[in-house]
Amino acid sequence: MREIVFDTETTGLDFEADRVIEIGGLELWNHVPTGKVFHRYVRPVGRRVDPDAFRVHGISDDMLSDKPTFGEIVEEFEAFFGGARLVAHNATFDLRFLNAELARLERPPIEADRIVDTLAMARRKFPMANATLDALCSRFSIDTSKRTKHGALLDSELLADVYLELLGGRQSALGLVVVDGREPGGANERIAVPQRLAPLASRLTPEEAARHRAFVATLGSSPAWMKLLEPADEAAQKAS
């Protein structure tokens, strides 16, 4: 499953009048970051950056003066974001602004059913707790030392870590150990898996096992594989 964790910065808070000035996103494939990112600054046509917004993200009109307009990057934006599930924090805000930009160009909107809102996830998982991105980073011990101001790509990177923790943690599918010092039932809790009393019998045929042992013998005088082969040979002898 392909997902894009993303964030936007804007000239202000009114999605009908204000404009998107920065878009950042990173790709996940089956909840694993692929390293592919999208990051663009956008020149807001006919709109200046509100002073209150500038204090939040530090993006000035001068910084945007030589940047492309949204219309100049829209095809690149749609190519990266298209077809993926989209993950954002307080997603309604970002969705309204992006759809307003798309509407100005008479492009189809982003459908709401493609959106995952991590703010809503956090409020369900931690009722009554502070659910800002900073608060969630603190809860999950995610390093925010580089975040002196809001930025779309950096916030997307932090949000990707938060999103994976809200899903159950980076190793949620493994469920191998219980992490000490975490709240019961928390996102970082792991379930201990009991050991089998007796190992399962090998599914290898004797011929396959012999070929494998012959191959391991070519790896040197004491390859690490021998540590695994010897217990397996003992188990096979007991099973026979």
Task: State residue 111 phi and psi, 5-degree precision.
Answer: -75, 140
> Are 21 and 44 spatial neighbours (Cβ–Cβ below 8 Å)?
yes
Give one word for 125, left, alpha or beta, with left for phi > 0 and alpha for psi -120 to 50: alpha
Catalytic residue among 39, 57, 89, 150: 150
31 classed as catalytic: no
CA-nearest of 180, 170, 129, 137 to 155 is 137
| C-alpha–C-alpha distance, residues 139 and 59, integer Å | 28
Closest by Cα among 135, 140, 127, 128 to 187: 140
d(CA 209, CA 15): 66
Catalytic residues: 150
